[in-house]
Amino acid sequence: MRLQVVKAEAFGARAASQAIETLQRNPHAVLGLPTGHTPIPLYRTLLAKAAAGAVDLSQMRVAMLDDYLGAQHGNEVSFYHWLQEHFLRAAGIGDDRTLAIPTRAETIAADCEAYERRLREWGGCELLFLGLGRNGHIGFNEPGSGKDTRTRAVRLSESSRAANADYWTENAAIPEQGVTMGIGTILEARQIVLLVSGADKREILRRVLEGEPSAEAPASWLQQAPQALALADEAAAGRPAE
Ligand code: F6R
C-alpha cells in the first residue's frame, strides 16, 4: 500500500479524482462506498462535479461496505439510509444500481453469500473506498478479523459503537452487531483507497502502515495489497503534503 499525503482542503478533490478517472474509463464501474465522517468531502465533491457536468454518475453502480445487523432500510439508524441521504439520492443512484449489505438477521448467512455472488456477477469492485476506525477496523472488520474473511455478521466493539453514536441523533440505540464486506472480499477490489483524515487517526495510521500485518489492526492487511493507496491529510499523516 502506498501513502499519499494531501492538504486537508484537497482531500475530497483528490479522492473524487480517482472516482472520476475510474468512471471515465468505465461509466458502469462498481464503486464500493463507506459511510461515516471521513468520506463526506468525497461525496460532496463528486456531487458538485456531477452538477457541473464534469462526471457522469448515471450508470455507475454502488456496493455498500457495511451496515448494522437488523437495520431497516427506512430507519434513520442504518448505513443504507445514511448513504441515501449523503450521496445516493442526490446522485440519482436507485436500488437497481445499489448492492445493499444484507441486514436481515434470520437469513443473514445465506444473504451474505448472495451479496458476494451478486458482487461477482457485477464484475467485482473496480474502486473501493474505505475509512479507518480508531481501532484499526475497515468496514466492520473489527480486531481479530483474518485476511480470508468474507462478507458476514460480526459483533461490534464498544469503541466502534461509541464512535458510531455521533452519526445519528442523540440517544440513538446502536445495534450490537454489524454486517461487513470481509477482508478477503475487500482485497479483491481492483483499486482500494483508504481515506484517513484528522489527528485522532495519526497513531492508528502509523500502526497500519508500519506494523506487522495482523488481525489486531485489520487495516494492516492492506499492506499486502499493491493496488491500495492510503490517502491521508497532513494531520493524519503527521507530515506535510507532497
Ligand atoms: C463505515 C465504515 C467504518 C468507518 C470508520 C471510520 O461504513 O466502514 O469502517 O469508515 O469507522 O469512520 P469515520 O470516517 O466516521 O471516522
Classify strands 66-68 and 177-180 as parallel, antiparallel or unpaired: antiparallel
Roughly what angle, to the nearest 10 degrees, separates helices 11-25 and 40-51?
Answer: 60
One pLDDT digit (tens) per residue for the chain, 242 residues: 999 999 999 999 999 999 999 999 999 999 999 999 999 999 999 999 999 999 999 999 999 999 999 999 888 999 999 999 999 999 999 999 999 999 999 999 999 999 999 999 999 999 999 999 999 999 999 999 999 999 999 999 999 999 999 999 888 899 999 999 999 999 999 999 999 999 999 999 999 999 999 999 999 999 999 999 999 999 999 999 98
Q: Ligand 1 test: best mutation among 101, 138, 181, 231, most atoms within 8 Å of CB?
A: 138
Residue 95 falls within a domain, yes or no?
yes
Its pTM stands at: 0.98
- Stated length of the chain: 242
Q: Which of 113, 135, 188, 216 is catalytic?
A: 135
Residue 31 falls within a domain, yes or no?
yes
What's the CATH number where 116 sits?
Answer: 3.40.50.1360
Range of the domain at 183: 2-237
Query: Could you tell me which residues come within 8 angstroms of residue 58 by beta carbon, excluding any fewer than 6 positions away?
Result: 27, 92
Residue 242 falls within a domain, yes or no?
no
Quote the number of domains for the chain.
1
Residue 101 falls within a domain, yes or no?
yes
Q: Which of 116, 137, 141, 164 is catalytic?
A: 137
Residue 179 falls within a domain, yes or no?
yes
* C-beta 41 within 6 A of ligand 1: no
Q: Which of 67, 142, 233, 234 is catalytic?
A: 142
